[in-house]
Amino acid sequence: MAGKTPIVIDAGTGYTKLGYAGNLDPAHIIPTVVATRDTSKETTLRRQPGLEDLDFYVGDEVNAHKTTHLPMFPIRHGQVEDWDLMERFYEQALFKYLRCEPEEHLFMMSEPPLNTPENRELLAEVMFETFNVKGMYIANQAVLALAASSASNEHAPRELTGTVIDSGDGVTRVIPVSDGCVIPGSIKSIPLAGREITRFIQEFQREREPGVVPPEDAMEVAKNIKENQCYICRDLVREYQRYDAQPDQYFMKYQGQQNITKRPYTLEVGYERFLAPELYFNPEIFSTEYSTPLPDVVDATILSCPIDTRRSLYRNIVLSGGSTLFRNFSRRLQDAVREKVDARVHRNEELTHAKVTPIEVNVLAHPLQKFAVWSGGSILANQEQFVRMCHTKEQYDEVGPSLCRHNLTFTSAC
């Protein structure tokens, strides 16, 4: 491949993932936050004229400057809302974290499933005019997640067709993709995700043993338990009985230390280990407003897609995002969706007396699930064809930002 390694950037609501194509993991994972000087708090005397533009912090440094600077989040619900802030954020991300020369690299940028063409133009303006990049490609997050699954799992089909279940911290989305194109009308989202799971664990523990965990640590403790000790069970009642029969195998301990006083505390972890991830299968336990389980949403999403894509969408259901990492997630989801599909096929056969070819349902877990979007970008940007698919600086100078409204589609992951 000619030139230097392409750079892959996946900007998410919570964290931005940065790194070089061809790597398995992003080089930097930094919070998507920019803190600028809080002008309401200071006198005019201390302000140095002419330097306001440079006086800001991004990512992890924001915490250290909370007293003088105001943290602001340029991305909300996956969409960039403040391009001015985003430009500053990218500046630091490229020059301070990646330390690269943007003029020499091609860029693979990610965009949320329902991004507007205007947003793509704005991104093109920032990248080509501010940073003078050599070339850029904008890829949909769902397509990248599919590519990651397809490249890391030998059982996955090579073509970019499948249903992506993307569950991060704020929202869970089900996105059908056919031959590298998202089917926009059929995207469905569930307003419950990782944050609700953390909150449930926290509340459940407070109900049982109030006062064990210091309140300022409660969120962090619940998050640790969620990430390390939770799993998905087959059947609630049977799981309870298992805990009753062998308590010393199933109940766990969590040891923590209070931040300021260094007082150690011990917390017992019990039923929340399997109850918390039930969020996806019994949302009723968590929310009064939302009660449709994830398998039903997946089924409804696929049924709303064009009829000739449905079989391949059922065949390749792909997980992406940190909240899909629970043990046995894929197996339970697969069983639940398969049960629904089989029941419908059976009923159809009964009514029409015609033989239906069984519908294959596969939910695929893969090793790159946590940073699936970034990893997918890394894989696609490493291909030979990526150079041809990028919009180049010369084309941009010729056409203008509207060039980036459309991007060529990748049709296979390898």
Please give the residue ranges that form the binding site for other proteins (CB under 8 A).
204, 207-209, 235-237, 240-241, 243-244, 246-249, 251-253, 268, 270-271, 275, 281-282, 284-285, 288, 291
Terminal Cα distance for the chain, rounded: 16
Between 70 and 252, CB nearer to other proteins = 252
**Least distance CB 209 / other proteins (angstroms):** 7
Query: How many helices (H) does the chain have, and how many strands (E)?
Result: 14, 19
**Least distance CB 267 / other proteins (angstroms):** 11
**Least distance CB 194 / other proteins (angstroms):** 20
How many CA atoms lie less than 13 Å away from 183 in the CB half-sphere? 25
Here the tokens at position 216 are 């300022």
Q: Are 104 and 143 in contact (CB under 8 A)?
A: no
- d(CA 345, CA 359) in angstroms, rounded, equals 8
**Least distance CB 214 / other proteins (angstroms):** 19
Which residue's structure tokens are 């890829």?
139
Here the tokens at position 260 are 């300021």
**Least distance CB 170 / other proteins (angstroms):** 23
Here the tokens at position 142 are 């769902």
DSSP of 109-137, one letter per residue? Answer: EEE-TT--HHHHHHHHHIIIIIS--SEEE
**Least distance CB 333 / other proteins (angstroms):** 12
Between 283 and 377, CB nearer to other proteins = 283
Between 67 and 288, CB nearer to other proteins = 288
Between 95 and 231, CB nearer to other proteins = 231
Which residue's structure tokens are 């003078």?
132
Between 241 and 402, CB nearer to other proteins = 241
Between 291 and 385, CB nearer to other proteins = 291
- d(CA 356, CA 378) in angstroms, rounded, equals 40
Q: Could you count the other beta carbons within 10 Å of the beta carbon of residue 138?
A: 21
